[in-house]
Amino acid sequence: MSEPINVLFLCTHNSARSIVAEVLLNALGEGRFKAFSAGSSPREGGSPNPLGLAVLREHGFDTEGVSSKSWDVFAQSNAPKMDLIITVCDNAAGETCPYWPGNPASAHWGYPDPSAGSGSDDEKREAFRQTLHAMRRRLQALVDLPLEKLSAVNLRQSAKELASV
pLDDT tens per residue, range 71-120: 999 988 899 999 999 999 876 555 667 777 888 999 999 999 998 878 89
Average pLDDT score, the chain: 90
In contact, 37 and 70? CB cutoff 8 Å: no
Predicted pLDDT at 101: 80
In this structure, how many other beta carbons lie within 10 angstroms of the beta carbon of residue 32?
Answer: 16
Residue 164 resides in a domain: no
Rg of the chain, C-alpha, whole Å: 15
pLDDT at 139 over 80: yes
Predicted pLDDT at 56: 98
Residue 114 is part of which domain span?
5-157
Q: Is the dihedral of CA 121, 58, 46, 41 positive or negative?
A: negative
In contact, 25 and 7? CB cutoff 8 Å: yes
Residue 162 resides in a domain: no
Residue 163 resides in a domain: no
In contact, 53 and 66? CB cutoff 8 Å: yes
Predicted pLDDT at 54: 96
Residue 142 resides in a domain: yes
Which position has the higher pLDDT, 135 or 97? 135
| Edge-first strand listing for the sheet containing 33-38 | 33-38, 5-10, 84-87, 105-108
Please count the structural domains in the chain.
1
Cα atoms in the 13 Å half-sphere on the side-chain side of 157: 6
**How would residue 1 be classed by pLDDT, with cut points 50, 70 and 90?**
low
pLDDT at 160 over 70: yes
pLDDT at 63 over 70: yes
In contact, 46 and 68? CB cutoff 8 Å: yes
Predicted pLDDT at 33: 97
The answer to which of 45-59, 124-138, 149-163 has the lowest mean pLDDT is: 149-163
Question: How long, in residues, is the chain?
Answer: 165
CATH of the domain at 133: 3.40.50.2300
